[in-house]
Amino acid sequence: MISLIVAYDKNRCIGSNNTIPWNLKEDMKRVKSLTTNQTILMGRKTYESIGKPLPNRINRVLTNNSDYVAEGIELFSNIDDALRNVTTEKIFIFGGSTIYEQLIDVCNEIYITEVDADINGDSYFPKLKEEEWLLISEESFKKDINNEYDYKFLYYRKKEV
């Protein structure tokens, strides 16, 4: 199963200066619970913004740099190869923009956190082709001391054709 997980704001902004521009503890918990014991696939810039492999997950990183060295990750230079030989139930497309853009069309399901913010960022998620996706669930939450904006959890499945 190819899954995708993303948090974006009202304008589908996902990042600014190679960081995530909000603090939402519940989103971090959701990411952890969905992706633990699964495989995550990310671009080299996202990997560097995290700074280390995420524990209890198989971390796959895409780079064109054949000299890239990092411990605890599986490196790929070809996006098709990065989707092959997955040994977990799911592989999560984990960002950033370049990875989402290349792989959104091959995903079976998408977990979105929609953040009620208006960030002036530099990385964006592609526009979802709504006609291809079925909204399965939507939950709304108010900001609080651990979550600096209102937010929604959305779960979409690809429509059968």
Ligand X SMILES: NC(=O)c1ccc[n+]([C@@H]2O[C@H](COP(=O)([O-])OP(=O)(O)OC[C@H]3O[C@@H](n4cnc5c(N)ncnc54)[C@H](OP(=O)(O)O)[C@@H]3O)[C@@H](O)[C@H]2O)c1
- CB 111, min distance to ligand X, A: 10
Please say which residue, 19 or 56, places its beta carbon nearer to ligand X: 19
- CB 29, min distance to ligand X, A: 14
- CB 75, min distance to ligand X, A: 10
Please say which residue, 65 or 87, places its beta carbon nearer to ligand X: 65
Give the contacts of 81 (CB within 8 A, at least 6 positions apart): none
Give the contacts of 138 (CB within 8 A, at least 6 positions apart): 152, 153, 154, 155
> According to DSSP H, which parts of 12-104 are helical?
25-35, 44-50, 79-82, 97-103
Name the site residues for ligand X (rule: CB under 6 A): 6-7, 14-15, 18-20, 42-46, 49, 62-65, 77, 79, 94-99, 102, 123
Residue 95: what residue type? Answer: G
